[in-house]
Amino acid sequence: MCSNLDDALAVAPRAGLAWESQAIPLSFDKEHESVDTPASSAREDSPPIKTLLILGASGDLTARLLLPGLASLVSDGGAQEINLVGAGYDDWSQDKWHDQLRESFGDDAKDSPVLKGIAENSEYHRVDVTSKEELTKVLQGVEQPAAVYFALPPSITEKACNLLEPGDVPEDTRFVMEKPFGAGQVSARKLNASLEKLLPENHIYRVDHFRGTGAVLNILGLRFANHLMEPVWNNRHIEKVEIYFDENLTLEGRAGFYDTTGAMRDMMQSHMLQIMALLAMDEPATLEERDVRDRIGELIRAAEVGPDYQQTTKRARYTAGKIGDREVPNYVDEPGVDPKNNTETLAQLEVHINNARWAGVPFILRSGKSLAKNQMEAIVTFKPLPHLPTGFTGTDTPTRIRIGLGPAKLRFELDVNGPGDIYSLDRANLNADLNETTLLPYGEVLQAVLTDNAMFFVRGDTAVECWRIIEPVVKAWSENKVPLEEYPAGSNGPEDWETSREEDPL
């Protein structure tokens, strides 16, 4: 982690840089609503979190992501004095809970006496969170202040929050909410209203683990700490921006969630629009929560998908195929899938931002499962030169910047004089490894929660605006106004989709 603002923003000096070209090896050393956004309370006045209370502790999210994330954080030196309390609907014994902790913590517990102590002292309570009495009892029964992680389906989280009254929630409690936040604009507004009665906005952490500390600071550092970037980061110089989150993972046993959610609600409404906002927002005055989230909110309010959804949106679903050595069945044959849902496993949107900086620049957002390779990156393509001096030969290829979001890498793709014929243009790449945390994604989430850093989470008004952007698309898709295409598992998607997807992602 960075020790100060200068370290946080100094992206390029961290990394060794190297030119590489296919032709010659070169190397060098180094419905819009009016929103009142509440001011943040002073962070230094907030008492430290004593307890992490996980609601839904017997579920898959806790076992696969939250507990391993906590283990990585403790092993990295964080959360040294946290009390861990699990609460779930399943009637687990303390022994079963401790078995789950040992399995999820894995080898980290063997190497960390602190983590081992957290596991040994942890308690599990059977709680029905839809019972006001049971929920209030567990909230008030743990050592305060507490961070309450709702590792629950969105509908259950919403029901639980609607049960509570201000007096039921101890002072300085934090609520951590998994995405999707609500099921649309209306439900998101209602959930915001319920939460506002219980907690200040900066004590409500709407999780977007794709917007972890490393990814955020890498993007902000690249954009705002380099004089080379800011003057050309606009529609006068940039032709398009593409953001990819392609995965070679399949359903992985999550049909119960995914088949009623799909790629659009799962990824676009949260992760993809948030990364787009970080890439496109105006410079914040500081890296404090209010300033950064104000800029993100402004950008999201200016964004929309063009109304001709057959041109600006695409959706597809994987069929039987092979990923590496793994045989993948047709999506509709996966256990727990209802073919009538017409769930998309690959989604693509063309988003436009209606402001002076970005008017006319398409932002292409794409995310899907069961694809050939993982590609998690943003590609910024600059406009072609208006004129190239006569005499140069070869291909005049647009300059591109590729920002890896996992792993964290940076590549400048430039034209230079080629070997042999010095008048011939050739492609060269300038590569850098960006700052990358040792924490797992949910370790980053928990670190931000336990250090009271709301900057890395989604603000309530922005969550509603994200639904405004995608809800009309969801409606059009549900009415089959956009065809549901198909692609074989292990492919790059439908063949006629024009993208810059790389055969060799960063």
Give one DSSP letter per residue of 339-395, joined into a string.
Answer: GGG---SEEEEEEEE-STTTTT--EEEEEESSBSS-EEEEEEEEPPPS---BTBBS-
* Sign of the CA dihedral with 276 first, then 279, 284, and 288 last: positive
Cα separation, 113 vs 109, in Å, equals: 7
CA distance 419 to 307: 48
> What share of residues in the chain are helix, strand, coil (percent, to 5)?
35, 25, 40
Spatial CA neighbour of 432 closest among 4, 22, 11, 36: 11
How far apart CA 127 and CA 90 sit, in angstroms, is 8
227 in catalytic set: no
Residues 195 and 204 sit within 8 Å (Cβ to Cβ): yes
Pairwise CA distance, residues 257 & 254, whole Å? 6
> Which element (helix H / strand E) includes 10?
none
- Is residue 492 within 8 A of residue 371, CB to CB? The reply is yes
Picking from 148, 19, 171, 157, the residue whose alpha carbon sits closest to that of residue 87 is: 148
The residue annotated as part of the active site, out of 125, 203, 209, 271, is 271
- Alpha-carbon distance 192 to 118, whole Å? 33
Active-site positions read 271
